[in-house]
Amino acid sequence: MRHTEFWARMEHALGPAYARSWAEQHVLGALGERTVVEALEAGEAPKTVWRAVWAELGLPARER
């Protein structure tokens, strides 16, 4: 997964106005107590980060 696809999924799940804010502020235990932005900046693969977001938000299996 590329970063562009990751952000498109984030915007689909949370809305374009809220996705970036959530990604900058919400800390996920599955990402080592980091935010989405911190994890991506540290080099985590977008696919790994998306799976953590998907689980945190309780999104349907079809969006995994």
Residue 33: pLDDT over 90: yes
Place of tokens 């107590």: 33
Mean of the per-residue pLDDT values for the chain? 95
Tokens of 51: 């799976």
Please give the average per-residue pLDDT across 42-49, as a whole number: 97
Percent pLDDT > 70 in the chain is 100
Q: pTM here? A: 0.91
pLDDT confidence band for 64 (50 / 70 / 90) = confident
pLDDT confidence band for 56 (50 / 70 / 90) = very high
Distances (CA, A) of 32 to 5, 38, 55: 23, 10, 14
Across the chain, the runs of DSSP E, i.e. the strands, are: 27-28, 34-35
